[in-house]
Amino acid sequence: MITIALDAMGGDHGVSVTVPAALATLRHQTALKLILVGQREAIETELARHHATGGDHIAIHHASEVVSMDEPPAQALRSKKDSSMRVAINLVKEGAAQATVSAGNTGALMATARFVLKTLPGIDRPAIITTLPTMHDHVHVLDLGANVDCTPEQLLQFAMMGSILVAAVEGKSRPRVGLLNVGEEDIKGNDTVKKAHELLRASPLNYAGFVEGDEIYTGDMDVIVCDGFVGNIMLKTSEGLARMITHFIKQEFKRNLLTKLSALVALPVLQAFRKRVDPRRYNGATLIGLTGTVIKSHGGADALAYEHAILEAVAEVKNNVPARIGQELAAMAARGAVA
Amino acid sequence: MITIALDAMGGDHGVSVTVPAALATLRHQTALKLILVGQREAIETELARHHATGGDHIAIHHASEVVSMDEPPAQALRSKKDSSMRVAINLVKEGAAQATVSAGNTGALMATARFVLKTLPGIDRPAIITTLPTMHDHVHVLDLGANVDCTPEQLLQFAMMGSILVAAVEGKSRPRVGLLNVGEEDIKGNDTVKKAHELLRASPLNYAGFVEGDEIYTGDMDVIVCDGFVGNIMLKTSEGLARMITHFIKQEFKRNLLTKLSALVALPVLQAFRKRVDPRRYNGATLIGLTGTVIKSHGGADALAYEHAILEAVAEVKNNVPARIGQELAAMAARGAVA
């Protein structure tokens, strides 16, 4: 039985998303227990709305406070010791849960998780890693915003963590790792990227070299590494562009009666397409490099998206990701493969 | 009459793109003269293929050498004094042409243009600026790869140049300027971005503050500023994602007989959509900050895309962009608005 603590109050929609998502997940995951962490009354009311009464697979763990979405992380960490986020992370530390999922404030989640769980030996700072769709399959990209300034050594650590995660969860023995860089002939990136390139070449990883921005979506890599500044802008740019393209397609189909009729004919195809690029299917970023599993759901996630974040937590617990990262880093260090 | 020198040999396709594009442009631009710079024989052969014999609006200027697409910029600058690229830029310097367009090697073009034309007073380094489509209209983004490491002062210079370009070419009196940054609550960017933010707030520009990656495509800004590392990755990521989405739409419509039939019905709509996001319509990036107008076409541009790059050169010459940037920078400096 896997036990996961959900920060039931986190995100833009709180219990109205987390509770139905928990119930929906339990309908098809039988060896799973979910602990709903947060204000008991709010959770109970929401459970009742769904005619759910608890049972062996669902529990409520009361926490009186809520971290707001725009609260400064340092303040959340200092003054909200009984927040649903903090208590959920504590449950992982104490071993009462094997992972936690939160749709709350990213900065507060990162700060609290780092403070409570600590980073693995050999890891300076945790990173945020997520999955993006590609032409052929999908790719894991990190860091997506936890570290705006990175050293070459940190980029190497990100590459190692990403590689171990993909090996563990997807069973790929030698994940292909690329380092995001600019592609102009005269300027092969800044000093940090150049030094990270050398470190990666000397590492035991299956390093494929520099990749340019357009190679993120080709599917040629399993892991792509960048600093959190670039990663965050890359991710958000992609979200914005996908939204614009969807908007344009809708507009064109709504132009006149004829185009509206053709939309009816094309509807199944358009739905299949939308399903394929549905960001909800890719919801659930991992705070990687910690001693426990912490999954960040998008703040605006709906129940379907939140369910995907829970499933990501299940997959990482099943595959023992933090322990494997710890073991492999120790093994690499012992072999002298990394400084 | 506006005169533009085309690097006829530049790009992946050389004269087979540049010559027909020149002829197509002249069909609807009457007050324009194009000088085709490059190997006379190759250009004449291509003109003959199109049954064109020259005339008042088209001229050939022989240049014996060609800069290859992967040639190191320093080598091109040092050893290819008679390249089509170099000679075309020389024509601008000598006043024989008011602008040049090249689809050649970006690094070599930047190095040569900077060496021959020099930067405007008050500008440390030129930047690359281009137009991207947005939900409502379009946006100008710089730098797209000329400068991988930027100081806060350079970001301010980029903002000023972008703002003056938009004011000049589009007649907008107070272009809205945004500074690209990450959006997580705890980390409001790196030191460079924070300092640039302060400089921009103190400047006379219509500065709207930080924007996140997803705001590039909303159309709320006229100019978005970032360093060349981030800008290049943002641009290439967008190209890659757009390609993937188009690929997925095609795949879904090709799935079976029924979806193929619905594609026939939806064809006019899909074509209208494709036209709207057609990157060829946005071809033509400006090397901004030089004493003359230099337009970089995509290396793989076809004739339609290359024609758009020529039209961008025409618009900038008509609106006297480099001189206006020079004048406004001098005026700002005189008012003590910038250091």
Q: Same domain, yes or no, for B223 and B298?
A: no
pLDDT at B265 (0 to 100): 76
**Residue B302 CB contacts under 8 Å (≥ 6 apart), including other chains:** B13, B17, B280
Taking an 8 Å cut-off on Cβ atoms, the answer to whether A255 and B272 are in contact is yes
Q: ipTM of this model?
A: 0.87
pLDDT at A255 (0 to 100): 80
Residue B160 Cα distances to B117, B131, B167, B178, angstroms:
20, 16, 11, 11
Hey, is B67 helix, strand or coil?
Answer: coil
For residues A2-31, average pLDDT: 96
Single out the residue of B90, B118, B75 nearest to residue B289, CA to CA.
B118
Taking an 8 Å cut-off on Cβ atoms, the answer to whether A189 and B148 are in contact is yes
Q: Same domain, yes or no, for B44 and B112?
A: yes
Q: What percent of chain B shows pLDDT beyond 70?
A: 97
On the question of a cis peptide bond just before residue A143, with omega within 30 degrees of 0, the verdict is yes
Residue B37 Cα distances to B3, B18, B93, B297, B303, angstroms:
13, 10, 15, 15, 17
Distance (Å) from the alpha carbon of B211 to chain A's nearest alpha carbon: 10
Residues of A in contact with B185 (CB under 8 A): 69-73, 105-108
Q: What percent of chain A shows pLDDT beyond 90?
A: 71
Q: Number of folded domains in chain A?
A: 2
Selected for mutation to probe chain B from A139, A149, A180, A229 (highest B CB count within 10 Å) is: A229
Of A108, A187, A238, the CB nearest to B107: A187
For residues A244-273, average pLDDT: 80
pLDDT at A334 (0 to 100): 81
Residues of B in contact with A134 (CB under 8 A): 244
For residues A178-197, average pLDDT: 81
Chain B residue closest in CA terms to A135: B244
pLDDT at B242 (0 to 100): 87
B105-134 pLDDT, tens digit per residue, is 988 999 999 999 999 998 989 999 999 999
Residue B86 resides in a domain: yes
pLDDT at A270 (0 to 100): 78
Q: Same domain, yes or no, for B136 and B274?
A: yes
Taking an 8 Å cut-off on Cβ atoms, the answer to whether B213 and A73 are in contact is no
Sheet with A285-288, side-by-side order of all strands: A58-62, A32-38, A2-7, A99-102, A293-296, A285-288, A127-133, A138-142, A223-225, A176-180, A206-211
Distance (Å) from the alpha carbon of A247 to chain B's nearest alpha carbon: 8
Taking an 8 Å cut-off on Cβ atoms, the answer to whether A269 and B262 are in contact is yes
pLDDT at A337 (0 to 100): 56
Across A138-142, B236-240, B280-284, least confident range? B280-284
**Residue A79 CB contacts under 8 Å (≥ 6 apart), including other chains:** none
Single out the residue of B96, B168, B73, B95 nearest to residue B85, CA to CA.
B73
Residues of B in contact with A245 (CB under 8 A): 242, 245, 277
Inter-residue contact B211 to B181 (CB < 8 Å): yes
Q: What is the DSSP letter of A207?
A: E
Distance (Å) from the alpha carbon of B275 to chain A's nearest alpha carbon: 11
Q: Same domain, yes or no, for B128 and B94?
A: no
Of B191, B212, B245, the CB nearest to A242: B245
Of A73, A145, A233, the CB nearest to B234: A233
Of A184, A218, A248, the CB nearest to B107: A184
Residue B83 resides in a domain: yes
Chain A residue closest in CA terms to B111: A186
Residue A266 has pLDDT above 80, yes or no: no
Selected for mutation to probe chain A from B138, B181, B192, B241 (highest A CB count within 10 Å) is: B241
Burial string for B83-114 (b: 16+ CB within 10 Å, else e) reads bbbbbbbbbbeeeebbbbbbbbbbbbbbbbbb
Residue A338 has pLDDT above 60, yes or no: no
Taking an 8 Å cut-off on Cβ atoms, the answer to whether B233 and A72 are in contact is no
Contacts A–B by Cβ distance under 8 A: 229
Q: Same domain, yes or no, for A263 and A137?
A: yes
Residue A268 has pLDDT above 90, yes or no: no
What's the CATH code of the domain at A327?
A: 3.40.718.10
Q: Same domain, yes or no, for A147 and A244?
A: yes
Residue B339 resides in a domain: no
Q: Same domain, yes or no, for A177 and A272?
A: yes
A269-281 pLDDT, tens digit per residue, is 777 777 777 778 8
Residues of A in contact with B145 (CB under 8 A): 182, 184, 187
Residues of A in contact with B255 (CB under 8 A): 269, 272
Q: Which residue has the higher pLDDT, B220 or B279?
A: B220
Q: Same domain, yes or no, for B133 and B267?
A: yes
Highest mean pLDDT among A48-57, B250-259, B285-294: B285-294
Residue A212 has pLDDT above 70, yes or no: yes
Taking an 8 Å cut-off on Cβ atoms, the answer to whether B148 and A253 are in contact is no
pLDDT at A61 (0 to 100): 97
Residue B335 resides in a domain: no
pLDDT at B115 (0 to 100): 96
Residues of B in contact with A187 (CB under 8 A): 107, 145-146, 148, 228
Residue B157 resides in a domain: yes
pLDDT at A185 (0 to 100): 44
Across A52-61, A284-293, B265-274, B324-333, least confident range? B265-274
Taking an 8 Å cut-off on Cβ atoms, the answer to whether B186 and A237 are in contact is no
Residues of B in contact with A239 (CB under 8 A): 213-214
Distance (Å) from the alpha carbon of A133 to chain B's nearest alpha carbon: 9
Residue B334 resides in a domain: no
Residue A306 Cα distances to A12, A282, A285, angstroms:
12, 10, 11
B24-65 pLDDT, tens digit per residue, is 999 999 899 999 999 999 999 999 999 987 678 999 999 999
For residues B81-107, average pLDDT: 96
How far apart CA B42 and CA B38 sit, in angstroms, is: 8
- Averaged pLDDT score across all residues of chain B: 91
Q: Same domain, yes or no, for A182 and A110?
A: no
Taking an 8 Å cut-off on Cβ atoms, the answer to whether B259 and A241 are in contact is no
Residues of B in contact with A237 (CB under 8 A): 213-214, 216-217, 234, 237-238
User: Confidence band (pLDDT; 50, 70, 90) for B337?
Assistant: low
B207-248 pLDDT, tens digit per residue, is 999 999 999 999 999 999 999 999 999 999 998 998 888 888
Domain carrying residue B8: 1-119+289-322
Cβ-based neighbour number of residue A168 at 10 Å: 20
Residue A159 sits at φ, ψ, to 5 deg, of -60, -40
Distance (Å) from the alpha carbon of B224 to chain A's nearest alpha carbon: 13
Six-digit token string for A211: 């990749």
Q: Same domain, yes or no, for A169 and A303?
A: no
Q: Same domain, yes or no, for A161 and A98?
A: no
Across A3-7, A55-59, A77-81, A270-274, least confident range? A270-274
Of A71, A185, A238, the CB nearest to B237: A238
Residue B332 resides in a domain: no
For residues A170-178, average pLDDT: 94
pLDDT at B187 (0 to 100): 53
Across A70-74, B89-93, B210-214, least confident range? A70-74
Taking an 8 Å cut-off on Cβ atoms, the answer to whether B214 and A183 are in contact is no
Of B184, B228, B266, the CB nearest to A107: B184
Q: Same domain, yes or no, for A272 and A332?
A: no
pLDDT at B336 (0 to 100): 66
Residue B184 has pLDDT above 60, yes or no: no
